[in-house]
Structure 1
Amino acid sequence: MQCGTWHKNIQATCIIHIFIHYSFTRVLFGSKQIELDKPLTRYCSIEGATLFAVDSVYGGGCSFLFRNDELLEPAFDDDFTHVTDDGRVFKRGGYPYRRPYGWNRVVALKVKGQYENDVWLGAPHHRTESSPGEWPVSYHGTKEIASIKIAEGGYDGDKCSADAKSGQGLYGLKWSIFKSKGFNEYSQYDVNNIVLTFGRKELNDDDCLLTDCGIKNGCVVQFAVKLRGAGGPTIIVFDEDSLDPEFDHDFTNECDTGRVYYRGQSQGFLGLFKHDYHYKRPYGWNRIALKVKGKYPPDDTWLGTLVAGSERTESSKGEWPVSYHGTGREGAQCIAVEGYDSKRWRKEPCYHGQGHYSTPDIEVAAKYYTKPFDQNGKKYEAVMQNRVNLSPGNTIIIPKEKTHAGAEYYVTYSSDDLRPYGICIREVKEDSSD
């Protein structure tokens, strides 16, 4: 609410008293809170300047944030202070939505109709699934006064903290990020895997100067790492913290030479008749490695001997066998971040009992369970590469004579016993046969 004009040497206390009747508690000028015992000339020197009165937001009874009521949409406030995680999975924009449990989201901003359309907000009701065209949810920590500026004018790059050198171009910034993250120039991830965004727009012209994009010293430019198919186009974008490019392996142009590989060993019967499990490598696929080292207690024995680019054929002691799980783009993004969700079994009939299904044959996983998706005018499919605990009581093995799919199925009860460590991607070629 606008306070109106003021005259020189009027104490701020007088202004505050004017609004006591309206329950306003603070007065702002230029996003600065005016102190009660200071002359207004300390804050501005122009007669007729506009002041703003703001109310208080209460969290648990304490006034902690001032606001302009015209910016707010109280119908969408939601107090999560005493709400706890009950295990349900929520999604927004196809990504897991981590609700702010323990927080009071007491200030819902009025944003409906502010942009071209409201599709990015999704359906306005409590739900677990994403809406078509909806954007994912993220959080940004800030200070009280900065939160007012963001609420009033959105994110202003001039006021965000980063370092942009004068005269630097987008390609130079990509190189700075690339080198700071320690990516190998000759690995699957080159500098062109860096995706830059600023002001909700992707920056695609590498020859453009930062200043031409409205980026100044102190601005924040967001970046992500893109996954590529063998041909190079962007397929899926992930947070680079989820990836471990040192262990990527592109099998796209490799074929089976007859060499046999093993991963994991059976327990046998009474310690006898043990055998190693055959590892069918994902020939014809591009395997992107997920960052899983140290993720599961107590150690990384389940992964086997970790040697980048290793060509070992034998199993390591305590290593788990490899399996594959067909999925779609959104499924791959979710599983890569959250793992397999034991609380949400597949809705379609589970012919061999409830559990997480995987198979040692990637072609079987692709044929029956992938959901091809379009990207850059082409179709792609994605399969998760896992390590599976085949110890009795953790997973049952359905023989191929019963699956009628040409390979065994592994039905794993707990997500702790099926651990994704890679994403395999390939282009779906059109069948040219008559």
Structure 2
Amino acid sequence: MPDLSLCLEALSAVTGCNVQQTTALSQLTPQDIVNIVALKEFYKQEGFKELEYKSVGTLSLRDSDDMDLYSAPPALKEGPSTAGPDASMRATVKVNPQEFFDQQYDYDFTNVKDGDKSFMRGSEQYVRPCGWSRVALRVVGKYDGGEAWLGTGSSAWPVSYHGNNMDGTSGIILARKESTAEEPGFLDAAAASLTTGETRGRGVYSTPDVKVAEKYCKKFKSQVDGNTYKVVLQNRINPEKRQQCQREGYCVVYVPDDANDVQTRAIVQESLRPYGILLKRL
């Protein structure tokens, strides 16, 4: 496992919180991490500027590249909303490393090259995160229904990677339609999206390819060693909840127009389960 302080910095980068170590109970679970990242992207896509998350507080949805973890960016009040920032400090949350991380499943892919090797998770190809180091999250025994979702068999969920800025605004648009009867309308919508740049599915995006996720990932400069790192979430995605996008290499979990905040969070939790944080030193 990389230095613990570096891992906490990575969590801070992806959540926008100040994540600290504790020996007491964690305020965040691994599931909370992917919830926060996915919901922040979704509500930003919807035009909001903040997210209220239980156990964390109010989180700003403002863009921040090359994040300085030790600055005090503005947080925002009661959300989602369109209010502007106030002078609040970044939310501080604490996690217990013993109950949050699972070192036995850490894996260093930094110098791994798979070449023509093929790996499967469920019935789909698993593109391993070569070039990255994986910090495993403690998720075994945390979900109902056993661990089949996390395995390698036919009932396992496929692997999904999540970069912080995958909010559907970069042409990651429209689910692929299976019915040929819907194809003309789909083509019209796709053509419109090329000219307006606004057409996109209302939902949470991810990708089975870590190289695609890397394009959208969060970067941060570490005070542990002075290096800059990229960070990506490695998840499993429920194949019954996601749809493939027309743009190859992307998938979307749709959120209905009439879904409220509680329902939106439930959709994320039913669809995405995290099991690793990936780090790459620049």
The TM-score, its normalising length taken from structure 2, stands at 0.53
Instruction: Indicate whether 1:384 and 2:233 are aligned.
Output: yes
Structure-2 residue corresponding to 1:412: 253
Q: Which has the higher helix share?
A: 2
- Equivalent residues of 1:324, 1:383 under 8 A apart: yes
For residues 136-155 of structure 1, the aligned pairs below 5 Å read 136=92
The structure with the largest alpha-carbon Rg is 1
Aligned residues: 175
Secondary structure in structure 1 of the residue aligned to 2:122: strand
TM-superposed deviation, 1:133: 4.6
- Return the alpha-carbon distance in structure 1 between the equivalents of residues 148 and 133 of structure 2: 25
SS in 2 for 1:254: coil
**For the Cα contact (< 8 Å) 1:243–1:290, is it kept in 2?**
yes
Is 1:364 the counterpart of 2:222? The answer is no
- Note the 1:187-266 alignment, pairs <5 A: 239-265=97-123
1:250 is aligned with what amino acid? D
Q: Which residue of 1 aligns with 2:129?
A: 282
Matching residue of 1:309: none
Higher RCO structure (Cα 8 Å, ≥6 apart): 2
CA contact (8 A) 1:412 1:418 kept: no
**Cα distance change on mapping 1:360 and 1:131 into 2, 3 Å:** farther
Counterpart code for 2:114:
D
3-state secondary structure, aligned to 1:387: strand
Q: Which runs of no fewer than 5 residues in structure 1 stay unpaired?
A: 1-86, 99-118, 139-223, 225-237, 266-276, 305-314, 329-344, 429-434
The one-letter code matched in structure 1 to 2:214 is A
Q: Which amino acid aligns with 1:241?
A: E
Structure 2: gaps (5+ residues): 1-38, 40-49, 59-70, 80-84, 175-200, 255-266
Superposition map of 1:308-327 within 5 A: 315-327=152-164
1:424 pairs with 2:273: no
Deviation of 1:253 after TM superposition, in Å, equals: 1.6
Indicate how the Cα distance of structure 1 residues 130 and 254 shifts in structure 2: closer, same or farther if over 3 A, else same. Answer: farther
How far did residue 90 of structure 1 move? Answer: 2.7
With over 3 angstroms needed to count, the CA separation of the structure-2 counterparts of 1:249 and 1:131, relative to structure 1, is farther
Q: CA RMSD in A?
A: 3.5
User: Which secondary structure does the structure 2 equivalent of 1:327 belong to?
Assistant: coil
In structure 1, C-alpha distance between the alignment counterparts of 2:92 and 2:86, rounded to whole Å: 9
Moved >4 Å (runs of 4+): 128-133, 345-350
1:97 has 2:53 as partner: no
Q: Which amino acid aligns with 1:425?
A: L
Per-residue deviation, 1:372? 1.4
CA displacement 1:219-263 (0-9 Å, x = unmatched) = xxxxx7xxxxxxxxxxxxx74321111111011121224221111
Letter in 1 for 2:211: E
**TM-score normalized with structure 1 length:** 0.35
